[in-house]
């Protein structure tokens, strides 16, 4: 279905054209004075200059055409030449019924689907997931769902950090602890054990210990670096051990992400590009893109127009080891080979923006990517504590994701318990769902690039612009529908024209769904969906308070209202799903 705002714009644009003016002045927007009108067109004012005519006169000319159209209830000139527009109730009714009957709530998917890879999550193997990875997971998952809804082929890749120094640290620490393991014997010819020489809990202890040691002890650091380089060169025992680390770690990560309701299509990692590194190095050398600087193999990516210094892109270290930059370049190569995407979107902490600027420039300058592959970096801000500093545990350590989820779930649990009217049935499961909504919505309702304060009380509140408030609205509708079901009321599936101003407002809000989806897709901005469902929930709750649906005696009216709230529920649930949030049945 065409967006309502577009439909109206087209009519007004053609009225401008028919009156002899450029149709570009006919763009219509939602009214910023809903008390005066539903929509407005302000184009007469800027056009006045071009046509040397009073804006009021231009508006008057346009109005003559608009008045012929039967979609408008009222078109009026206001102030110096604004055109105020109201739509006929019957037209709104028709629009809502079409939405109601269509599969996708009337959203037309893109007729030219693209292949989009979304690189998000970015967990590091052998290190615990912390809140820094939370934003990437939450935002990336939402953007992925939005792109899919719009109709694109989307591939979500967790892009594990599995090829860096932390692996070398774990390997050399294990070597210190259990030198007898076959992984360390270079002459070992047999089969390596199937079982990992550590559990996930042990692994969670090994890395921090090793990392602390390496920071204060140069020998330990050199050992870790050497182990990393040897691993990357393919030393058998290290590869076997690395697989064990990967296995144990990924199993745990999968559990964590699934608890968050975040699902990846690919569990690839930095290591997957390694098989292309030699090819890439040869390619870069043959095409004279590289030079050596202090033992490093680099590509100069500076431009004459640069206003700040962009350091050269480092391809390889002197010992041949790959860096973060190498793995990202190799991953682009790999993704082109395997998926031939139209776009790659990286959802990563904005403090990595220079790194991505370097990777993108290098890929473009060396023609590894052509002009037809879009590379986009979506850098997000930091989640801070109330002190305005990055969120930490009370002791000042890195907050583990699991602990964070527990904190918010407990906060919601307490709130649910406080509220007598809430059933304690399945309270644990409900607290988990509502807690997740608090966490995700608290994050997604902010602009991605901004830092925000993690405020448990605010996020878990059942009032205001929060996840729990939206869920409460959905649950309220579900509860009415349960009652209707219980009384076995047979309703038709038609929505009537609105019966009151408040109901009309609800109609107007519902018609905006596809417009909001488009905006959130184009700007990669889940917060636009949050703004929308908050507004919609408020409008719905106002309608709910003034309407007695269940006891309504006029059965066609009652029937229409039931359909209206079903449609509202569908719009809310579909939008929540795009944010990666699920509503419980009760709360």
Site of interaction with ligand ARG (CB under 6 A) = 119, 122, 124, 159, 161, 328, 346, 348
Of residues 346 and 507, the one with the C-beta less far from ligand ARG:
346
- 82, 60 Cβ separation under 8 angstroms: no
Q: Count the helices and strands in the chain (H runs, E runs).
A: 20, 13
Q: How far is the CB of 265 from ligand ARG (least distance, A)?
A: 15
Q: How far is the CB of 443 from ligand ARG (least distance, A)?
A: 17
Q: How far is the CB of 415 from ligand ARG (least distance, A)?
A: 33
Residue 159 gets the label, from left (phi > 0), alpha (psi -120 to 50) or beta, of left
Of residues 48 and 203, the one with the C-beta less far from ligand ARG:
203
Chain centre to alpha carbon of residue 69: 41
228 to 165, 225, 320, 493: CA distances (angstroms): 6, 5, 11, 64
Of residues 331 and 465, the one with the C-beta less far from ligand ARG:
331
DSSP 158-193: --BB-SSHHHHHHHHHHHHH-TTSGGG-TT--SPPP
Q: How far is the CB of 352 from ligand ARG (least distance, A)?
A: 7
Of residues 110 and 265, the one with the C-beta less far from ligand ARG:
265
Of residues 119 and 223, the one with the C-beta less far from ligand ARG:
119
Of residues 135 and 159, the one with the C-beta less far from ligand ARG:
159
Identify the H or E element spanning 72: strand 72-78
Q: How far is the CB of 91 from ligand ARG (least distance, A)?
A: 48
Of residues 141 and 328, the one with the C-beta less far from ligand ARG:
328
- Strand, coil or helix: 9: helix
Q: How far is the CB of 164 from ligand ARG (least distance, A)?
A: 8
Nearest CA to 577 out of 44, 141, 26, 48 is that of 141
User: Would you state the structure tokens that stand for residue 111, as one six-digit string?
Assistant: 């007729």
- Strand, coil or helix: 266: strand
- Strand, coil or helix: 523: coil
Of residues 159 and 432, the one with the C-beta less far from ligand ARG:
159
User: Would you state the structure tokens that stand for residue 474, as one six-digit string?
Assistant: 């959905």
Nearest CA to 327 out of 358, 288, 364, 287 is that of 358
Q: How far is the CB of 353 from ligand ARG (least distance, A)?
A: 12
DSSP 13-70: HHHHHHTTS-GGGG-EEE-S-TTT-SEEE-THHHHHHHHTS-HHHHHHHHHHHHTT-T
CA quadruple 311, 316, 321, 325: dihedral positive or negative? positive
Of residues 87 and 362, the one with the C-beta less far from ligand ARG:
362
Nearest CA to 91 out of 62, 69, 60 is that of 69
Return the bridge partners of 385, or none. Answer: none
Q: How far is the CB of 359 from ligand ARG (least distance, A)?
A: 8
User: Would you state the structure tokens that stand for residue 12, as one six-digit string?
Assistant: 């007004």
Q: How far is the CB of 351 from ligand ARG (least distance, A)?
A: 9
Of residues 147 and 348, the one with the C-beta less far from ligand ARG:
348
Q: How far is the CB of 328 from ligand ARG (least distance, A)?
A: 5
Burial class (CB in 10 A: 0-12, 13-18, 19+), 520: buried
Residue nearest to ligand ARG (CB): 122
Say which residue the tokens 């649990």 belong to: 413
Of residues 158 and 171, the one with the C-beta less far from ligand ARG:
158
- 177, 298 Cβ separation under 8 angstroms: no
Of residues 161 and 435, the one with the C-beta less far from ligand ARG:
161
Q: How far is the CB of 124 from ligand ARG (least distance, A)?
A: 5
- 362, 301 Cβ separation under 8 angstroms: yes
Of residues 326 and 560, the one with the C-beta less far from ligand ARG:
326
Identify the H or E element spanning 292: strand 290-293
Of residues 119 and 503, the one with the C-beta less far from ligand ARG:
119
- 241, 185 Cβ separation under 8 angstroms: no
The three-state DSSP-derived secondary structure of 77-127 is: EECCCEEEEEECHHHHHHHHHHHHHCCCCCCCCCCCCCEEEEECCCCECCC
Q: How far is the CB of 403 from ligand ARG (least distance, A)?
A: 18
Say which residue the tokens 């583990």 belong to: 400
- 31, 40 Cβ separation under 8 angstroms: yes
Q: How far is the CB of 333 from ligand ARG (least distance, A)?
A: 13
Of residues 161 and 168, the one with the C-beta less far from ligand ARG:
161
Q: How far is the CB of 494 from ligand ARG (least distance, A)?
A: 50
Q: How far is the CB of 424 from ligand ARG (least distance, A)?
A: 40
Q: How far apart are CA 266 and CA 339, in angstroms?
A: 12
């Amino acid at each position: 279905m065409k967006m309502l705002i577009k439909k109206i714009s087209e009519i007004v644009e053609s009225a401008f054209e028919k009156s002899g003016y450029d149709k570009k002045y006919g763009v219509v927007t939602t009214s910023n004075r809903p008390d005066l009108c539903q929509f407005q067109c302000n184009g007469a004012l800027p056009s006045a200059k071009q046509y040397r005519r009073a804006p009021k006169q231009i508006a008057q000319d346009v109005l003559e055409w608009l008045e012929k159209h039967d979609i408008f209830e009222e078109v009026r000139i206001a102030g110096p030449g604004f055109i105020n527009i109201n739509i006929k109730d019957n037209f709104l009714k028709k629009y809502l019924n079409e939405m109601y009957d269509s599969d996708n709530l009337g959203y037309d998917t893109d007729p030219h689907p693209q292949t989009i890879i979304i690189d998000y999550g970015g967990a590091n193997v052998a290190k615990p997931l912390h809140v820094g990875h939370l934003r990437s997971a939450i935002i990336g998952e939402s953007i992925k769902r939005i792109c899919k809804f719009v109709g694109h082929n989307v591939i979500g890749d967790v892009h594990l950090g599995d090829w860096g120094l932390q692996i070398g640290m774990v390997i050399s620490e294990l070597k210190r602890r259990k030198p007898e393991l076959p992984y360390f014997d270079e002459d070992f010819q047999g089969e390596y054990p199937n079982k990992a020489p550590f559990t996930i809990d042990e692994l969670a202890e090994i890395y921090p210990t090793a990392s602390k040691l390496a920071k204060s002890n140069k020998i330990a650091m050199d050992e870790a670096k050497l182990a990393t380089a040897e691993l990357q060169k393919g030393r058998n025992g290290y590869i076997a051990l690395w697989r064990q680390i990967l296995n144990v770690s990924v199993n745990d990560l999968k559990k964590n992400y699934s608890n968050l309701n975040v699902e990846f299509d690919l569990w690839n990692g930095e290591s997957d590009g390694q098989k292309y590194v030699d090819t890439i190095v040869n390619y870069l050398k043959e095409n004279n893109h590289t030079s050596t600087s202090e033992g490093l193999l680099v590509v100069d990516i500076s431009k004459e127009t640069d206003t700040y210094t962009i350091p050269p892109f480092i391809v390889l270290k002197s010992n041949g080891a790959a860096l973060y930059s190498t793995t990202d370049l190799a991953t682009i190569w790999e993704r082109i080979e395997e998926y031939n995407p139209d776009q790659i979107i990286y959802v990563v902490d904005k403090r990595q923006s220079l790194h991505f600027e370097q990777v993108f420039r290098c890929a473009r300058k060396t023609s590894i990517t052509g002009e037809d592959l879009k590379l986009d970096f979506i850098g997000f801000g930091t989640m801070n504590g109330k002190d305005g500093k990055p969120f930490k545990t009370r002791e000042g350590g890195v907050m583990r994701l699991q602990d964070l989820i527990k904190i918010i779930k407990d906060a919601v649990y307490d709130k649910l318990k406080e509220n007598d009217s809430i059933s304690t049935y399945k309270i644990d499961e409900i607290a988990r769902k509502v807690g997740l909504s608090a966490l995700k919505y608290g994050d997604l309702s902010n602009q991605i690039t901004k830092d925000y304060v993690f405020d448990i009380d605010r996020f878990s509140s059942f009032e205001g612009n929060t996840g729990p408030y939206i869920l409460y609205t959905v649950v309220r509708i579900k509860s009415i529908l349960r009652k209707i079901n219980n009384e076995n009321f047979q309703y038709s599936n038609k929505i009537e024209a609105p019966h009151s101003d408040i109901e009309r407002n609800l109609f107007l809000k519902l018609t905006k769904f596809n417009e909001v989806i488009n905006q959130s897709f184009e700007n990669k901005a889940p917060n636009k969906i949050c703004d929308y469902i908050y507004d919609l929930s408020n409008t719905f709750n106002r309608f709910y308070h003034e309407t007695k649906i269940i006891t309504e005696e006029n059965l066609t009216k009652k029937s229409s209202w039931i359909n209206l709230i079903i449609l509202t529920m569908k719009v809310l649930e579909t939008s929540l799903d795009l944010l990666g949030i699920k509503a419980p049945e009760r709360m």
